[in-house]
Every structure is written in structure tokens, then in C-alpha cells.
Amino acid sequence: MSLKRTKPAFAISRRLRNFLFTLGILLACLLIALDHSSLRPKWRHYRQSAGQSVYSDFEKYDAKTFTVVKVVDGDTIDIDTPDGGYSHTRIRLWGVDTPETKKPDTPVMYFGPEASEFTTKSALGKSVTVYLDKTNTRDKYSRLLAYILLPDGSYLNELLLSEGYAYADFRFRHSFYNKYKQLESAARSSKKGLWEKVTPGQMPPWRQEN
């Protein structure tokens, strides 16, 4: 009587090992190809952005002092330290939204020039201290999100709200969300800045929906 032969139990696991080994080689080749292809700048930027931790931003910027070298808009400034491939770091002020003056395909909004002028007078050329928030350190454009302490001890974010140059940004939660809503409410009640004459149609689209 003949005995029926059976496959060795390890045959499947051997094939699986070979498959995983081959897959690993292919992935390694793909990574090398990406690093040497025309997509390299975008690929490296993605890796840097995806791997950039909140910790590294805190270590580099939090509670550190820098000079404001440019005011882009009422709520956006540049400071004198490199960020990635840029010679400066662009900061978007946490929790506030000033009327647009330089956004592509967007007309200058009501009280936008006044807000930009206020930020320019308050911060341009001055040494400011940057404070980050544990909730997030970057926006979708990779700009640093920060609270800016001015030399006189006041925060630029709060001044913009309390003097009526900015809207409290309800779209994103942060550590001072409720405080900023209260600052805006007080400015609105006192008809400070833009609140004196602004109409719903002159507000940012996101604000008109709230």
C-alpha cells in the first residue's frame, strides 16, 4: 500500500517570507526612485511635513524672541528665522481673522487696510516673543500658528480683537477660544473699529454663515 505524500507545513510560510521580502525590495526601490525623481522636492516636503512634530516646533519657536521683518496682512507676519526652504518663518496669528487685503481673487475687504496698518505699527521691526498652542502648531498652508507677545507686554492677537480690527475665528478650537469670543463681543458692544459700521455682507464668508 502506497502512502499519500503531503506538503511540508513550512512551505506556505516560506512562500510568504519570499513574498514579503520581494515586497520590501520593491518598496525600497520606490523610495529611492522618488528621492531621485523630478518629484523629489514635493516628496521631501511631504515627508518633512508629515514627520514634523509639534515637539520640534515648540523646541524651535515657543517662548523664543524674533524680529518681525514683514507684515503680510493684519493677521499674518514674517519673522527672521528660516523655516524649511524659506529664509523666514510665516506666522498666522492664532484665533483671529482680519479682513483680507492681499488674498488672490479676493477684493480688499472692509477695514482690511486699517487692520494691516495696525499690525504694521504694532509689530513691524520689533522684537516679539512667539508662543505656540498645544492643540496645533501649523495650518493647512504650513504657516506657524502662534500668539505674539509685543514688547509692551500685550498680545497682538488680543489687541486686534479688543480694538475691533479682527473677528474671533470660530472655525478652529484653541486654548483661548472662549476668551477671544468675549474680547470680540466687548469690541462689538462698544462699536470699536470695524464694528462701528460693518454690515453682514462685508464680513468674511465663513462669518456670514455663523
Whether the predicted pLDDT of 180 surpasses 50: yes
- Give me the pLDDT at residue 30, please: 63
Instruction: Give me the active site residues, please.
Output: 92, 100, 143
Query: What average pLDDT score do residues 55-63 get?
Result: 96
Question: What is the pTM for the complete model shown?
Answer: 0.74
- Give me the pLDDT at residue 53, please: 72
Distances (CA, A) of 204 to 106, 158, 170, 176, 183: 11, 19, 12, 21, 18
Please state which of the ranges 98-112, 152-166, 176-190 shows the lowest mean pLDDT.
98-112
Distance CA 7, CA 19 (A): 19
- Which domains does the chain show, CATH number per domain? 56-208 (2.40.50.90)
| Per-residue pLDDT tens over the stretch 98-107 | 999 988 878 8
Is 103 or 1 the better-scoring residue by pLDDT? Answer: 103
What residue type is assigned to position 78 of the chain? D
CA dihedral 24, 28, 29, 32 (to 10 degrees): 170
Is 201 or 23 the better-scoring residue by pLDDT? Answer: 201
- Give me the pLDDT at residue 105, please: 78
Is 35 or 70 the better-scoring residue by pLDDT? Answer: 70
Helix (H) / strand (E) containing 76? strand 76-79
- Give me the pLDDT at residue 41, please: 46
| Per-residue pLDDT tens over the stretch 17-50 | 777 777 777 766 565 555 555 444 443 444 444 4
What residue type is assigned to position 172 of the chain? F
Please state which of the ranges 49-58, 75-84, 116-125, 165-174 shows the lowest mean pLDDT.
49-58
Q: Residue 115, exposed/middle/buried by CB under 10 A (0-12, 13-18, 19+)?
A: buried
Query: What average pLDDT score do residues 43-58 get?
Result: 61
Cell match 486686534: residue?
A: 160
